[in-house]
Amino acid sequence: MNPRVAVRGIIILDDKLFCVRQKPYRHAEANTYWCTPGGGLDDGETLIGALEREMLEETGVSAKVGQLLYIHQFKHKDVDQIEFFFLINNPDDYQNIDLNKSTHGLNEIEEFGFINPTSETVLPEFLTTEKFDDLLESAPKIFSYL
């Protein structure tokens, strides 16, 4: 089985990370943790194109996609996934989101906001220990949980 490919946005403002809690429509435990917004690629999509689409669908905000920060591969139960995390360069635009202006947000997102990832349950777990002020000075980091 080929792994699912997904993209995620890293949005940082005042040392806080923008995260969402998904509604438990796909996974019963989805609203028990925070994650960064994003989703899977559609056939023929590029990584950047998929992230721009996913961010707009979920938040109603057009993302200015920056550099690749992380590559994360994991297997858990029936999920085999590779995720590409990109910096989003317009964090101020995510301060006042109206999910009514999104196409998927009201159906998919239970809660959203800028959080302190060290004091919340955030997946993937490496986001809880990252020093975000150092991100732009390092090459992409690769994490694998197989």
The per-residue pLDDT for range 58-104, each reduced to its tens digit, is: 999 999 999 999 999 988 778 789 999 999 999 999 999 999 999 99
Domain boundaries, the chain: 4-145
Q: Whose CA is closest to 55, among 47, 63, 67?
A: 63
| Whole-angstrom Cα Rg for the chain | 14
pTM for the model stands at: 0.91
CATH number of the domain at 4-145, out of 1.10.357.10, 3.30.465.10, 3.90.79.10, 3.30.300.160? 3.90.79.10
Task: Please name the residue ranges forming H helices in 91-145.
Answer: 105-108
Confidence of residue 120 (pLDDT cuts 50, 70, 90): very high
